[in-house]
Amino acid sequence: MHVSDRTPVPGPLRWAIILVAAEVLALCGTVAVLALGGAPRLAGFFAMWAVGAGLVLWGLLRRKAAARAPAIVLQLLATAAGTQAIATGGWVLGVVLIAVSVTGVLLLLSPGSREGLGVRV
């Protein structure tokens, strides 16, 4: 279901969109660092992740209900990356990734986001 662009974007959905946009930018930065650092395969993996996140962002910006589930999956992948970062000694990065992803899930599951995307329960 597509929600009219004339209705205002609810606060939780707006923040979820901002969060996913920040994740896309961070992934693009990671791709650049890895590509310049001589890790092309890893850069390719993160490039695919960035493209997927960009498609999710595009769906959220268009306020498509079908973008909600992939956005939640994106956040769960970030949680997994955060736990892996903690396991390998990157405590700060891991905690930030987990905090951001849990916040994203909560924003996407909030009633305001459901309403803004036209998700019927």
Tell me the pLDDT of the chain (121 aa) as tens digits.
555 567 888 999 999 999 999 999 999 999 999 999 999 999 999 999 999 999 999 999 999 999 999 999 999 999 999 999 999 999 999 999 999 999 999 999 999 999 999 888 7
Q: Confirm whether 4 is domain-assigned.
A: no
Inside any domain, residue 112: yes
Residue 120: the pLDDT is 83
Q: Give the number of domains in the chain.
A: 1
| pTM of the predicted protein model | 0.89
Quickly count: other Cβ atoms within 10 Å of residue 85's Cβ. 18
74 contact partners, CB below 8 Å, separation of at least 6:
20, 23, 52, 53, 56, 104
Are 64 and 79 contacting, i.e. CB atoms less than 8 angstroms apart? no
Structural domain includes residue 2: no
On whether residue 27 sits in a domain, the answer given is: yes
- Per the domain annotation, does 53 fall within a domain? yes
For residue 100, give its domain range: 11-116
In a domain, 6, yes or no: no
